[in-house]
Structure formats: C-alpha cells, structure tokens
Structure 1
Amino acid sequence: MKTSSPVFDAGSRRRLLGAVVAAAGVYATAAPVQAQQNTEASLDTMTVEAAAIPDSAAGPDSSIVARRTMTGSKTDTEVLDLSNSVSTVTEEEMRTRNVQSLEQAIGYTAGVAVDQYGSDDRYDYFMIRGFDGTSAGTYRDGLSRRTVNFTGGKLEPYGLQRIDILKGSTSTLFGLNAPGGMVNAITKRPLDYDFGEVYTTLGDDHTETGADFGGPIDQAGEWTYRITTKWQDAELSADETRDDRFYFAPALTWKPNDATSLTLLADYNKRRGNTSHAIPIGSNIDPETFLGEPDYNDLDRFERNIGYLFEHDFQNGLTFRQNARYTHLDMDYRHVYLSQPDPREGRDAYVVAGERDQYVIDNQLQYDHVFKGVKSRTLAGFDYNHDEVDERSRFGSAGGIDINNPIYCGASCVDLTRQPDFHQKQIARGTYLQEELTFNDRWIVTLGGRFDEIKTDTADEAFSDNAFTKRAGLTWKALENLSLYTNYSESFEPPSQRSLIEGSAEPQEGKQYEVGLKYRPATNALITLAAFDLTQENVIKQVSQNLYRQVGEINVRGLELEGKLALNDRLNMTAAYSYWDPEIKEDGLTGNEGNRPMLVPRNIASVWADYTIPGDSARGDLTLGLGTRFVGDTWIDDANSDKTASYTLVDAMARYGITDNVDLAVNVTNLFDRDYLTYVDNVSNSGFHGDGRSILTTLRYHW
C-alpha cells in the first residue's frame, strides 16, 4: 500500500485514514475498515500492508509510539539506531490528554521536570536532566527559539504534530544550548489526503474553539495545504488570571516529484496572559488570592513567524535540506509583586516593553553510500542565527496590601522610574560535521564535531566567543529489536544576559557520559533505559532583579526508565521514572559546595493509561484514561535552607464516540484539586503554588 496517490477514491482514502488516524486527528470507524480489508486480503497480507506505512521522522505518527526521528542526529533515523536518548510525545498522546501547554505535553516524559514555578505561567518552564532548559532549550522544527531576558514566546500545542525531547548535551548539532537537552516542537504540516476537524471546548471560565483541516489542492497531489487555528478566552485557577489566545497557522507544500519538496509555514500567535503571583508563607490564606494589582498584571505577546522547509534528493545518495524562519515578537509586561516579608510594608513594580527580531537558517548536506560493506552517512551543515532584542523598562514601588482584606489601589499607588534600556544583538554561526558508520548492520559508530562563532553586542559592550564541541557514540544492535549504546557529548552556551552578570562572564560548558539500552517488543512499544553523568561549568544563577552570578560547577548523575506501549487498538500506556543525584561541585561565591541545586528533585515518576471499550450498534466507542505524576521534594535555594514537599497529581479523561464523526471528551487535570507548593522566594518569604483542578469538555467533529 502506498502512502500517497495522485488521485484518491473513497475506498483508498478510507484505508489511508485508518493508517494514520491518530496523528491526523481523524477517527475512522473500526468495523467497516476491518470488513473492507478482510475482503481484499488475508490476515497475513494486511499485516504486511500496515508495516509498509512507516511513520515519518517528523510526524505524523500512527500511535503514541514513535519509530523514527530527525531530532537525534538531524537525519531520518530509527530510534533504536541512535546512540543518544530521545523521547517523543505524539499528536495522539497530546490529543488524548488535551494538553494546554508545552509543560503539560512533556510532563509525563522521563528525564523531564516541569512546573518548577507553580502558578508562574509566563513561559514554558522545564528542566532536563537537572538543568533548566527554559531560555535556551526550546526549538521549533530544529531551529532555536530562545528567550532573552524577559522577551520570549510560548508555544501553542494545538499547532504541533509531535514533540521530540533530546536528552544530554546537544551543541555538536544544534549549537548554543543547555547541557541537559532540548525540546524540539514539530509544526503541523500539510498531508497528502483530505482531513479536517472543528471543535469547541468549555470549562469553568474557559471557552475555546478551533479547526484544523487540509489536503491536496490539485488532482495530481503536487500542491497540498493545511490551516490550523484556535481562539480561546480563559482564566486559570487563581484569581485575576487569564489565558486568552488567538492562533492562526497556514501551511503550503509544493512537491513536484518524489525528490523535491518545499513547505511554507507561517503563524500568528496572540496571547494575553498574566504575570506570576504568590502568597506569604505561613499566611494560611487561599493560594488563589491575588496580592498584586489588576492594572499591573499583564504579559501580552504578539508573535509572527514565517519560514520554510526545503529538501531535494539528488538521487545519487546526496540530499540537501534547508530550514529557515523569521520571527517578530512584541511583548507588554506589567507586574506588581510581593517584595517584603510583610506585604503591608510595600510591594515592587516592574514594567517592560520588549521587541524581538530573529532570523535563523540551517543548511544540511547529507551523503549516503556503501564502501566495502560499510554503510556511511555523512552530514555537513552550516547554520546562522541573528537575534536582536530591545527592552524598555521601568522599576519602582507600589503601596502595601492587607493580605486578609486586599484592597487594590491601581496606578495611584505605583511609582516607577525609567531604567537603562536593555539591548542585545547576538549573531551565531555554526559549522558542523557528523559521520555515521554501520558495520555488519550491528555496530553503528557516530562521530561529530562543530565550531561555533558568537558575537554579542549590548548597549555598552561587545563580546566574542567561540568553541569547538565534540560528540562520539557507539550503538550495538544485539538483536533486531534490542540495542545498547554509549556516548560522550559536549555543550556550549554563552550567557544570554551578559551585561547583567556580575564580574567577568564566561561561556557555560557541559560534558556528558551516557550508557543505555532500547528495546522494541513485537508489539507496538518502546522501552528505554539510560544512565548518565553530566557536568556544567560556569553555571549562571539569578541573584536579584537585574543581577546574575556564575556559581561554578554543577554535576548531575542519573538514571531514566521509560516505556511507551500501544498494545493494541484499545490500550495505550506510558510509564517513566527518573532518578537524579545533583550536586554543586564548585561555588566560590557563596560556599554552597556539596549542596543540591535549587528546584532539582531527586525522584520523578509518572504513569498514564487509556483503554477503549469498543462500541456496537447501540453505542459508540468509550475511552477511559487515568494518569498520575510524582515529583520529589526540592530545595528552595542553593544554600539548602528549606525544602518544598513532594507532591502527587492525578489526571483523568473520558471520551465517547457519539457517531463515526463526532465525539465528546472530558479532561481533568489535578483531579483531586491538590494544593502544592513548588517554589519559595526567600527575599519576600512568598510561595508559588501549583494550578488547581481544571475540567474541560470538548465536542469534536472530524472527517
């Protein structure tokens, strides 16, 4: 069976939709498809046809289990062949859990911690292998989308068809990056068959509607399109919060032949959100109480992206790829927050207007050939990143507030003073080379190197950094479905707030050693185990509003176990466990050697399972899902002065197929409305609590 055809009749389209039902969001009726297949082929023949439809390395995926990825090596590679650890959250998994943020999407992944700042929903906060990846570790379609100072965006999950999480130091391929790893979000792209859906989601102070549709434009299938859009008017669980969104993303693919493709991607992402808020520790007031100022509680972003993905196969083992994107982001940030142990004595206020322009392009040339029985895959690349940020800010004070009887004073009690403008232009150029050699189809050697040149201009100074990072890996395929691997890799990351760092700032450098195994049973499943030793030097920590310090050296040793199983058409399961042993090795500034770094848990665990009860002539399919996440205790600072307690959260869902094309779903996060504390600000003695229970009901029509 082919995955594409110049013209689709109704029967072939139905079979194709059945093969990629989960990733495309199109739910076909199981019985008619089975009956049709039975009339065409025997059971053995059907098995062969299903296997002939491989999942794409960038999605869409036919289940929650990804088989291939482009993220691990920038080449289309079977996950078992990689000498590093990659986890994937497919579109089916995101849809089942109805994720509303990147944090929710990756929260069930081994080696990943989210929600470090609780009710602070300003950015996509996450930690990989004990190191923060919020500012530097987010990528989209393999291209960086860093946050600089305050200016940065948030991803819209509804616009994504999969999320890859690459763990460990990744600078050899992706350049400037944190040592723990990266998150690569893959944008929804046109498909070569007709599909579509419209939906409405309702909840407590939550109204949302969206659509996702596309298909071939011409009969030959040379042109395909996709339009994804979403509108939302919502509040979060705490008082004076909002999460309003408008997302519109058109996409167009031109594929004149099997060797050439060009995909144009654009999106407009308008988000009106709120700043973080906290309550005094030990106050015994409702954690949802708002102690800021409603007139100074904005974090509004208007982000526009336009780019393309180009690939051409020269048909002689040589392939060229070029990905590019331009981003313009405007940000309006206004905040009144607790700054004193007794809020009646006063609060602080901060206002920032940010503007950002980023242009990034990645060129790749891949050459595959066989020499005396040895398979060789060579990748050479050059990428360029031009990133310019301007921020105008004012800082000052606001009047005090009675936490037991909050009375807001508005602009009349806020006194602001203009601060020096923040300006940073950073130009990064990277040249990289990677060689993969396969011996006897059992041994795979991966060697890579990269040279980066970075020039950073601030309002007062100019800096230049360069680095050569290396990577070496070995994979042994002990069995066709079992591989063992080891690797060494490095990371390199110049400071993104150079002018705000006390003293002479040095680039952060990381080194990682890793061993692991990957097992794919006969069923549709993937089980991975990894152990690692990861060290970063010149780690940057924020000391106050506009002051950062480099604390020396941090080491994290850990163990990760993850399983993703799509056992049949009815049962899906994910399970993950992470053990981290983090330690501050050197800290000449404050003497915290031997302590555990702040906000880094030792233990993280999660389980999710959903089961579908097939329908009959009297009723439709019923899917029930339940998941739980455990996060261990964390220290509130590097001095290890106090801890936040561990917590366990439970999520649930139910979906009923009203007809073949209509389903109704209910998703609940934090099912038992657990009150949990994730972060404490020592200066103001204020705590940040996690979001409370959310219940969302979705009615979806798909075709």
Structure 2
Amino acid sequence: MTVHDRTLRTLLLAGAALTGFTALPAAAQDAAQGGPSIETTRTTVDGEEAIIVTARNYVPEGSATASKTDIPLIETPQSISVVTRDQIDLLNFIDAQQAVRYTAGVFGENYGPDLRFDFFTVRGFTPKQYIDGLAAPISTSIYSVGVDLYAFDSFDLLKGPASVLYGNAPPGGIYNQVSRRALGTPGGEISAKYGEDDYKQIAGTVTGPIAESLDARLTALYRDRDAERDHVSARRFTVAPTFTWRLGERTTITGLGYYQYDKVKGDTNGFLPVYGTLLDNPVGKVKRSTNLGDPNNVYERKQFALGWDATHEFSDSLKFRSNVKWSDYKEDTPVGIYGGGGLINTSDSSDPSYYRTVQQYNFSYKEKVTSFATDNRIDAKFGTGAAEHKLLVGLDYRNVYNKADFGFIFANTIDLFDPVYAPQATYEPGYPSAFNNQRLKQTGVYAQDQIGFGNFYLTLGGRYDWVKVASALTAATTKQDKFTWRVGANYVTDSGFAPYVSYATSFEPVLGVDSVTGDDFKPSTGKQIEAGIKYDARGLPDDVKLFVTAAVFDIKQKNVVSTSPSVTPVFGTQSGEVEVWGGEIELVARIREQISINGSYSYNNSEVKESSFAGEIGAPLPTTPKHKLSLFVDYTIQQGSLGGLGFGLGGRYNSKSAGSLPGAFNPVVYYGESTTLFDAIIHYDTPEWRFAINGSNIFDKTYVARCSGPAGCNFGAGRQVIGTVTRKF
C-alpha cells in the first residue's frame, strides 16, 4: 500500500469515527474482528502458480436474527435464510428484491425493477423490515425503507412467526439487514459499475484501526441510472459510518449510522392496462418501456439513523447488551401522474380511443416517520445438572410517529401505444387530505432458554407486548396487548444432520372498530407448526462448506379484516382467516474455494378460509406462486494461465400467482405469468483487482409479473447486464 493510500484511508476512517452511528447485533461484530471474509491470494499448488479466492462467509453458520444470541443456525428450530455479503458480491445483487432470487419461500420483483422500495413476500405475507435487530421506520403502507444493499454485510430472512423476539410482526416472518462494521485489520475496496439503462455507480468501503482501542469503517455509494421505462432516471447517495470502541477487556461500544438521499424522476413503476400486457389487445402488444405517467413526476426521499450497541461482559457466561437507535424518514411525491384509470373505451371500435386511450390520475403523497427503538437484554450461560442453558431475558421499546398527507385529482388521457405527454392542467395537487397521523408505542418483555442435553436441544420462548396507538385523525386511542410464544426441539448428530420441529405464534395490532359488532378490533394472530431437517456438512472434508435446510410448515392467521385498508383505521369486519402450507428446500455451498452453489425449491399453497366477502373464500393470497425453483452454480479456475477466471450460470422458475384478492372493484383476479429466467456471470480475480460482468434475465424475456387489477399490471424485470471493476486494498 502506498503512502497516498495510507493517508487516504486514515482520513476516511477519522471521518467515520466523528460521524453518527446506529445499533448493530453484537454477534456480527464478534465475527467481524477476524478480518475480511473474502481474500484473494497468489500461491503455488503442486509447483504451479494458482490464484485462490477464499470466501470464508459464503456459507452462513450463524445469525443473531433468529435467536438474538449466538445459537448456530444448525441448532435453530426454525427456517432462516442468510444471504451473506460474499453471495451478494458474487451475484451482484443490487437490492433486496434481487437478493431473494435464489432463496426458498420468497417471491420478489412482482412490481418489476422498482427504484425506490423492496417488494417481496415470504410464505404468502409481506415481511416487516429490521435493520441491525431494530425495527426500521417503515411508512404507513409499505414495509420497506429502501436503504441500499451495499451498506449491509448480510440479509437475513426469519421465516414464520417472529413475535416472540420482535413483537408485532406478520406470520410469514421478518427480514433483518446487518450493517457492515469496523474491522481490526486494515482493508477495503473501491468499485465502479456500468451497465444497461445507463447504469452508473461508484462505491467504496474502508476499515481498520485508527487508535489502540478504536476501529472504524466508512462505506459510501453514489448511483445514477435510468430505467427500463422511458423518461425515468434515479440518483442515490448513501453513506454509512461505523466505529467500535473497546473500553477495557469486557466492554465495547459499537456505533453506526446511515444517511441516504434518493431522487427519482419520471414514472418509476406506474401501472399498465391488462389488455395489451397480460391479455390480448386488438391494437397490439404494449412495450415494456411504455410510460403512462409523466416525465415531470418526482419522488424524493431523505432518511438517516443514529444509535449505539453497548456490550458488557460480567463474566465469560454473563453478558449485557443495549441497542438504541433514532431514525428519521421523509418521502415526498409532489407530482405522481400514472395511468391508473385504465382504458376508457373497450366497446366502441369506431372511436379512435378504442383499446388505446388511458385515463391518467395524479396522486401526490408525502410522509414523515420518526422512530426511537431500544432493545436491552441479559445473555447468560449456565448448567443445571445434565442440562446446559443459554438464557436470554430482554425488554424492548418502540415509539414511532407517522404523519402522511395526499392529494388526488384526474389528469389527462394518454395513448397506450404512442404516449404524448401533454401539459397538465395541474402538476402539483398539493396534500389537502390526511392519510395518517398516529403515534405507536410498543413495550415488550421476553425470555428465551435453549436447554441442551448433549446433542438434543429444547428451545422455549415467551413474550408479552403492550401496544398503544393514538390517532389524531379520529382522536381515538387503541390499546392492545398480547402474549406470544415459541417452542422448538432439535437433535444435532455428529455427522451434521439436525431434524427439528417447532411451534410459534405471532400478532399484529389492527386499528379501528368492527363495522358489524361495534367492538374495537382485536390483534390479528398467527400460528405456525414447522418440521424439517438441517445439514451443515461437518462430516465432510474441511474444504467442503455446505448448509441445507428442508422444511414443511402450516401457517394460519386469524382476525383478518376482510376489507382492504385504504386509510387508517380501516372499515370492515374481523371475520377473516387465511392459511398457507407448503414445503421448502434450500442449499448454499462452497467447495474447495472453487465452486459456489445456491439453490432452492419451495411449494406454497395459500387460501382464504373465512371472509365476510364470499368471493374471497377459497382464493389464493396475492403474489404467492405455488412453485419456485432456482439454481446458480459458479466455478473458478485456480491454476494455469487462466487462474482467477470464473464462470457462473443460473436459472429461476416461478409459477403464476394471483395479483390480488377478488373484491368489489376487481371481481376478476388476474394471474401474473409463470416464467423461467436465466442469469450468468464471468469474472476474473487477482489479489488487488476484481473484474466481473453479471447478467440477469440474459435472454431478455418479457413477462407480466403482476396484475393487481384491470389497470394495475407490471412487467417483470428485463435483462440487466452490469460490468464491475473493483480495486481491493
């Protein structure tokens, strides 16, 4: 490393140490101190020069998301998928929607390549987002804040009910993104990307010690890109500083933070009519690039978080952790023109507007979310006779304020096959109507004990939550409380097989009054029984790393309000019940630091069992395909003149899925198309450089991912080819 490189790194690290911070799970911090997970070395094997790319964390072994402690994945009696930074870098995942492409039970990109949010479902339900173990400041209607994936070290999906550790959550699960953190050894990278749709990005991360007891890291990204749709562009700036300060041998404080700014111009993800996309249109097929919005559309977002994670070890077997985070989230759409009105003439073929003229709407929206979250817990290890205990006792608290306003007016009409963006009578309708104005406070106390009897483990957990929601719109205060629990058992054989079974429950607060009974809504509750087997290849040679999970499950959710919410509180009756059952198998492997494998298969059978609206009974849940099959294999040549050169190929299949539940305004349910897509990669590594070209949907297949109604269709993501040059140091 040159003097210039050392000086630059020192300045960046000093800046990181002086900037804000937020909370991180300590388990990930402990793992990080071993140095960078990916290392490329030039060596000699059997007398011949070789380049070895070591990816220590490609195959996950642990995750604090599933247990809030250091219980390994093999001992966790519930399905969890961990997409590590090593996997993200190899497969060039740009966002969380892409990161779940090879993950079982998860269906993403049903709105196509959205440039703002991450949309996906887990076992039929939309998961809530967590960042470093604490709830993200999600908005009223979207469970995602869109912090860039480059800021994170891993992407964890805990499948099934998670309320026993996290409080109110949907029965399908949650996802937790674990931030990059400071290392005790110097290192970093700077990378540049360029690809289709004028995709341009520069990003970098640098870490190392800046004092005897202080390590720091700074991660930053700038992206400027267009989209598959005409007249759409997006810019993003993300910066995420972090430090770890060791106060003696047993006390550490980890501080992290992030700030992100997004601006999208044009109609990033507007809707198209079903005729010409999913169904035939007498005029012709609609192009994937068709934009029925307006080039004057604007979406702008600013968000940041600050906090800390303090850890004190009283002894080798007793530890206290306290996580705290303040978050601020603002988004604003002053101009939101889209073709939501659909075709205005499908009956008079003599009129020029026949099957080609679409009604535009203009929906302006802004929301502010401020959040304070803290999680404090005691982690103890002790023995009682023949039993070994890992006991966790904690208390967490959230205080979240959401305020959202909107405007809605009719806009122009536009030609589906030859869009002309005529001047609008009104570009900015303002925000005359209140969408939401509420404060949520949640306090939860929880306990979990993993009791080990040799190779047999029994995990017990229970939690009680108190939730209070005050709405300024209705001047009403809703109080709800609920006990949730989880029990699981597994046996880990010496060869690495671990059969398990578990039962878990969940709850979500529901605001409002039942229109039939007149009573306050009860919390919506869920329960899941799951059984499966895991395998971690401990009986195989050391250069074979493998983690496999196979599971079957049955989820039931009750107290579902039949009427779809549009404002809070909702109007309807709490008579709904849904069920999702199925099976999954997922594989992640790294063999001889030469072959990487990601594969999965999942089956989901979803059904509305009870509803006040008879048309819903028997219907499947939206964006929940019955079948998903995926496999990606990558191989790197290690020796000879081509040492360091690698190739990968993958395929993904999703069966068709419903775009919505049947309702008064959409009695006909449209199904997105089943599709098979292929991905590929070519890459070359040296100790200092990495060159890669990643392609997804390389044959550029056009397909309709979802139609939420006759005017609500979206194409799936088209071909994306991106070249990357990375300088490692």
TM-score tier (shorter) = 0.7 to 0.9
Q: Say yes or no: does 1:81 pair with 2:75.
A: yes
Quote the offset at 1:627 in angstroms.
Answer: 1.4
Q: Say yes or no: does 1:335 pair with 2:336.
A: yes
Question: 2:617 maps to what in 1?
Answer: 593
SS in 1 for 2:150: helix
Per-residue Cα deviation, 1:110-142 (whole angstroms, up to 9, x for no partner): 121111222544421111111122xxx211111
- The 3 A distance-change label for structure 1 pair 240 and 24 is farther
Question: 1:364 maps to what in 2?
Answer: 377
Q: Is the 8 A contact 1:339 1:683 kept in 2?
A: no
Quote the offset at 1:448 in angstroms.
Answer: 0.9
Q: Say yes or no: does 1:626 pair with 2:649.
A: yes
Question: 2:19 maps to what in 1?
Answer: none
Unpaired runs of 5+ residues, structure 1, are: 1-18, 36-49, 51-60
Q: Is the 8 A contact 1:21 1:62 kept in 2?
A: no
Q: Is the 8 A contact 1:662 1:699 kept in 2?
A: yes
Per-residue Cα deviation, 1:573-602 (whole angstroms, up to 9, x for no partner): 011000111111101124322222222110
Q: Distance in 1 between matches of 2:575 and 2:501?
A: 30
Q: Distance in 2 between matches of 1:294 and 1:161?
A: 36
Quote the offset at 1:615 in angstroms.
Answer: 4.7
Q: Is the 8 A contact 2:33 2:184 kept in 1?
A: no
Q: Is the 8 A contact 2:272 2:340 kept in 1?
A: no
- The 3 A distance-change label for structure 1 pair 105 and 319 is same
SS in 2 for 1:408: coil
Per-residue Cα deviation, 1:176-203 (whole angstroms, up to 9, x for no partner): 1110111111000001101011111111
- Bigger mean CA offset, 148-157 vs 620-629: 148-157
Quote the offset at 1:282 in angstroms.
Answer: 2.5
- The 3 A distance-change label for structure 1 pair 233 and 214 is same
1:370-389 correspondence runs (5 A):
370-389=383-402
Question: 1:675 maps to what in 2?
Answer: 702
Question: 2:691 maps to what in 1?
Answer: 664
1:253 to 244, 247, 252: 244
Question: 2:156 maps to what in 1?
Answer: 164
Q: Distance in 2 between matches of 1:489 and 1:625?
A: 38
Quote the offset at 1:32 in angstroms.
Answer: 6.3
Question: 2:551 maps to what in 1?
Answer: 530
**Which residue type is aligned with residue 661 of structure 1?**
E
Q: Is the 8 A contact 1:207 1:234 kept in 2?
A: yes
Q: Distance in 2 between matches of 1:257 and 1:622?
A: 45
Q: Is the 8 A contact 2:236 2:260 kept in 1?
A: yes
SS in 1 for 2:161: coil
**Which residue type is aligned with residue 426 of structure 1?**
L
Q: Is the 8 A contact 2:364 2:428 kept in 1?
A: no
Q: Distance in 2 between matches of 1:311 and 1:645?
A: 50
Unpaired runs of 5+ residues, structure 2, are: 1-30, 48-53, 277-284, 345-356, 663-667
Q: Distance in 2 between matches of 1:177 and 1:300?
A: 28
Q: Distance in 2 between matches of 1:421 and 1:581?
A: 34
1:257-406 correspondence runs (5 A):
257-273=248-264, 275-283=268-276, 284-296=285-297, 298-315=298-315, 317-333=317-333, 334-342=335-343, 344=357, 346-406=359-419
Q: Is the 8 A contact 2:137 2:329 kept in 1?
A: no
Give me the TM-score of the superposition, normalised by structure 2: 0.85
Q: Is the 8 A contact 1:492 1:507 kept in 2?
A: yes
Q: Distance in 2 between matches of 1:541 and 1:200?
A: 48
Q: Distance in 1 between matches of 2:421 and 2:718?
A: 24
Per-residue Cα deviation, 1:308-331 (whole angstroms, up to 9, x for no partner): 112111115211011111111111
Q: Is the 8 A contact 1:272 1:300 kept in 2?
A: yes
Question: 2:57 maps to what in 1?
Answer: 63
Question: 1:422 maps to what in 2?
Answer: 436
- The 3 A distance-change label for structure 1 pair 166 and 415 is closer
1:99 to 85, 93, 96: 93
Question: 1:478 maps to what in 2?
Answer: 493
Question: 2:28 maps to what in 1?
Answer: none
Kindly report structure 1 stretches of 4+ aligned residues shifted beyond 6 Å: 19-23, 32-35, 499-503
Quote the offset at 1:435 in angstroms.
Answer: 1.4
Q: Which has the higher contact order (CA 8 A, sep 6+)?
A: 2
Q: Is the 8 A contact 1:278 1:689 kept in 2?
A: no
**Which residue type is aligned with residue 207 of structure 1?**
K
- The 3 A distance-change label for structure 1 pair 489 and 545 is closer
Q: Distance in 2 between matches of 1:393 and 1:27?
A: 50
- The 3 A distance-change label for structure 1 pair 619 and 568 is closer
Q: Is the 8 A contact 2:650 2:680 kept in 1?
A: yes
Q: Distance in 1 between matches of 2:513 and 2:237?
A: 35
Quote the offset at 1:361 in angstroms.
Answer: 0.5
Give me the TM-score of the superposition, normalised by structure 1: 0.88
- Bigger mean CA offset, 514-523 vs 24-33: 24-33
SS in 2 for 1:158: helix
- The 3 A distance-change label for structure 1 pair 541 and 339 is farther
1:438 to 435, 452, 456: 452
Q: Is the 8 A contact 1:102 1:155 kept in 2?
A: no
Quote the offset at 1:392 in angstroms.
Answer: 2.3
- The 3 A distance-change label for structure 1 pair 328 and 641 is closer
How many residues get paired? 652
Per-residue Cα deviation, 1:632-684 (whole angstroms, up to 9, x for no partner): 11123323733222111111111113x43012111111111111112113253
Q: Is the 8 A contact 1:355 1:389 kept in 2?
A: yes
- The 3 A distance-change label for structure 1 pair 415 and 683 is farther
Question: 1:693 maps to what in 2?
Answer: 719
1:510 to 516, 523, 526: 526
Q: Distance in 2 between matches of 1:395 and 1:355?
A: 19
SS in 2 for 1:449: strand
Q: Distance in 2 between matches of 1:255 and 1:485?
A: 38
- The 3 A distance-change label for structure 1 pair 207 and 101 is same
SS in 2 for 1:416: coil
SS in 2 for 1:72: helix
1:492-511 correspondence runs (5 A):
492-495=507-510, 505-511=521-527
2:186 to 188, 194, 209: 194
SS in 1 for 2:97: helix
1:114 to 85, 108, 113: 108
SS in 1 for 2:146: coil
**Which residue type is aligned with residue 214 of structure 1?**
T
Question: 2:670 maps to what in 1?
Answer: 642
1:519 to 535, 548, 551: 535
Q: Is the 8 A contact 2:164 2:484 kept in 1?
A: yes
Q: Is the 8 A contact 1:275 1:335 kept in 2?
A: no
